[in-house]
Amino acid sequence: MGDTKQSVGIIVVAHADYGSAILRMAEFILGPLQDCTSISVDVALDVNETVARLTDAARRLDKGAGVIILTDMFGGTPTNLALSLLSTHHVEVVTGVNLPMVLKVFSSRTKPLDELATLAGDAGKSGIVVAGSMLKNK
């Protein structure tokens, strides 16, 4: 066998269409994306159906390196549903998904899952800038 590392699967779970939109933005920047999906949480959908879709995606996208689940907001329904997989699947959940976080995850997905989760959190935080204040202080 070669040194080929397995890639971590990626799921974005968010309210409405935010997850699919952020994956489209990443694809616009990076080109075609693989082993990823988004799951929309909508009041019109049954919670059990959403959990089933999330569980199916986690199983399908775990090729041996696990799955990182990026959610929109800690304490929100998407995060709470994602957290339900922590004890049953090889997943990590990172909240506050933004474009810098998604780009970092796609460019670093051969890292171990726990390291990737830390990188995702750091990239998400560093991508938040109060531009006016920053420019005034230059």
pLDDT in tens, 24-56: 999 999 999 999 999 999 888 899 999 999 999
Percent of the chain exceeding pLDDT 90 equals 88
The number of residues making up the chain comes to 138
For the chain, list the domains and their CATH numbers: 9-136 (3.40.50.510)
pLDDT higher than 90, residue 137: no
**Is residue 86 within 8 Å of 133, Cβ to Cβ?**
no
pLDDT higher than 50, residue 76: yes
pLDDT tens figures, 83-114 = 999 999 999 999 999 999 999 999 999 999 99
pLDDT higher than 60, residue 3: no
The whole-number pLDDT of residue 1 equals 47
Task: For residues 127-133, give the mean pLDDT.
Answer: 93
pLDDT higher than 80, residue 128: yes
Percent of the chain exceeding pLDDT 70 equals 97
pLDDT higher than 70, residue 72: yes
pLDDT higher than 80, residue 2: no
Q: What does the alpha-carbon distance between residue 57 and residue 75 come to, in Å, rounded to a whole number?
A: 21
Q: Any bridge partners for residue 91, and if so which?
A: 67
The whole-number pLDDT of residue 77 equals 95
Q: DSSP class of residue 90?
A: S
